[in-house]
Structure 1
Amino acid sequence: MRLLRQTGAATLVALALAAGMAAAQETGAVLRSPIVTLERERLFTESRAGQALLERLEADSAALAAENRRIEAELTAEERDLTERRAELPADEFRSLAEAFDEKVVRIRREQDAKARALSQRRETDQQEFFREVLPLLAELVRERGAVAVLERGAVFLSAEQIDITDEAIALIDARLSTGAAQPNEAPPESGGGAE
């Protein structure tokens, strides 16, 4: 019986919260709350500065993919040539050439994997730098709202739409942070490592 009362009370509180939030949403008023919510991923992917960083990362990723395709084609041709020459080469010479080719493939694979990892790390580093740069703008927005805490929106079970500051934050970042301000931290991956 006690559990039933507690469950009923919790349900009533949830319904009251939902009704209050619905009423606040209908009026469209800014809700004064000590806690606001924010979607970090949207802040990065929808602000112009974040999009500029993502476009550079995507261009570098596409360049690396093209380089990998070129290297693969070169290695395939080299392997085909080696296979065709097998019949005319002494066994020891062919074995030596095949081992050298295998070592080359392993070396190139390691180099290309390192470039892919560096690109992935750069995304994380660039995203961290982006948030360092926008933090003062977010703090300003939070102060204007009279809030004292910001929660990731995805971590909140239930909230009024009006306490979400993501759209306002994106507009503020777009207005005050140039797209070149959040610079990438590393140069694009170097070309090279091809089949020589």
Structure 2
Amino acid sequence: MSDRPAQGLRERKKAKTRALIQREALRLFREQGYAATTVEQIAEAAEVAPSTVFRYFPTKEDLVLVDQFPPFVEALRAAPRELNPVQAVRVTMRQVLDAQTPEERADSVEREKLMLTVPELWAASLDNIRGVMATVRDELAAREGRDPGDPEIRNVTGAIMGVMWALWFDWAKDPSMEVVEAFDQALAHLDAGLPISRGDQSPG
């Protein structure tokens, strides 16, 4: 008899436990502050042992920094090959954001706020951003059959990530933002070459 169903059940249980731990951690960070919250308090709130928290999140910083990046990578790899890098990321972002629940989006905003406002997380946040950029660069290079060190791949990755992070900062300040449409429009603007609309204004 195959043990695949049992393996699938175990993985779903692990995912639920991981999500619960992170959700309780974010709630406690919001209510009593990042520095004042202990791993023991998080474990108690999630009704797990402290060792279980560390099994899913090796450091306290990981409770904020570790997110749902793997689904993004999987969706990017599955994006139609005829799309250029910006278009591929645009399709991927819409797919990933559309799949999120309201709770998952709220957690994303909470993580962004913490990364931007907690000094203890700044260095870890920079490493996290660097890692995300490197992964996106490598994936885009593979799609285009180019070397990850290619200057053109570096430039397009930087442009994409710059547009996305600028919007993410605004989203952290205004969680009511229609984020799916905002990301879609921002990446469409980048794909169009970032034109600046001047309306009917004339010089002089």
Q: TM-score range by the shorter chain?
A: under 0.3
User: Whose RCO is larger (CA < 8 A, sep 6+)?
Assistant: 1
TM (norm. structure 1) is 0.27
Q: Which has the higher strand share?
A: 1
TM (norm. structure 2) is 0.27
